[in-house]
Structure 1
Amino acid sequence: MASAPQLPLFYNGLEPLSSETHADYRIQPQDSAPHLIGQHAIPITTDEFALVQRFMPIVFSVGDDAIPLGLMGLNEGVNVFIGDDGKLVDDNFYVPAYVRRYPYMLARLRPESEELSLCFDPSSPVLGAYDEGDKLFENGQPTEVTKQILAFNEQFEQAGQRTQNFMRELRELGLLMEGEVSIQPDAGGQPFIYRGFQMVNEEKLNGLRGDQLRKMQQSGMLPLLYAHLFSLALMREVFGRQVQQGKTPPSLPQGV
């Protein structure tokens, strides 16, 4: 079932980054992402649709607060792009910004506050009081590395706002419908039916008035919808990877 994750996905906790508390913290480069093992659906932003649709199917989670998801597998607990060692199976792959953001995140320290603070997951081995690695602070001030991390997180938040606006328009136009994909295995037998996600109703899209379509074209929304629709052809490719990796469920699946 591809439902909206209970954010924040991957995070075990959040702690505000402080020049006092974390004055001696450094970043240690990681060559793997263990938190990605078995994660089959990753939140993505509309800014990424053009890149994501080259590698993964783009679908929408179920529910009123639907979000776009890049499918790294068609079944719970299956990720065909990440090996058991947490490393990418293929070097030529677009890693979603949500993944690259970890272990950092902009968050409100108090519910009533409008200000966002740069936080991190204290359980992550990426940063700590290490002897080697890039410093986060120097002489009580953020280093260039920390400034770059903050800038990336700010850009991600802005992309998130654009994605929320896109989803609101999608709901107002009534273009989302329950998705279903049937995949016939090459070896024959009964098809695998995947449900539990939403997709754009292409018939409704084609039936929109000319002025509505023109407005969507001018706003950049229409190309995003077609990127999503074109990406659905990758369902079979992801299914094929699951077969090759021996990760196809023995019984007919009911959702992604």
Structure 2
Amino acid sequence: MHLTRFRVNTARTGARRLLTSPQSLHAAVMSSFPGTLPTDDNAPRVLWRLDHNARAEVFLYVVSATRPDMTHLVEQAGWPSAASDPETPGWHTRSYTPFLERLAVGSCWSFRLTANPVHHIRRKDGEPTKRTAHLTAHHQMQWLLDRQERSGFRISQKTAAQRLLPAGRTHQGHEDHGDRYEMVVRDQRSLSFSKGKTGPHKAVSLVTVTFDGHLEVTDPEALRRTLIGGLGKAKAYGCGLMTLAPVR
């Protein structure tokens, strides 16, 4: 497995086009693997995520089974002149396997995850259920909490001294996830775009959010599957990739 980081040159026209179209960026990411054909439904899963750290600081992260070649992305959305120097090729790829193998029960990490928190509802009796996005931070956090144990981790809880409310509850008696857990939800985005370039275009609408927080490893093997296979829906459109970093 490999983890790749690519810095996007937000001043480039090509970069702005990719940043506003998850469909185009997905196609560009998949074009980084010369051994994978677009029609190959059995190709290994490729996860990607955009981190908007600042207006001119946007990073693309990719987790893949094989090493990517992002020359085309450098030409469209990077710094082609700087990339001519072998010391600064425009992207950095490292083996992910050694890190995955070091995960151990009880170890604590900072995490980041961009996801598409959804649930299924039925508005009327007899109607089929419909996939619907969670729109409030409380329900978005609950979506992740509901998946933590089977995904191999546990979101860390704040100490009593860190909480603003007794037992992490609001004045109405309801649980306040933001006051109980070391987790924040931010950068909610509503995306709408057309899928496909030929024939009838299918409209796609997504709500994505980014989670930042701390977690404890409970099942290393399950967490490895989560880091490699992703979490939740809309993985082709930049959702599902969780990354870990040492707790500062």
Q: Aligning the two structures, in what range does the TM-score lie when normalised by the shorter sequence?
A: under 0.3
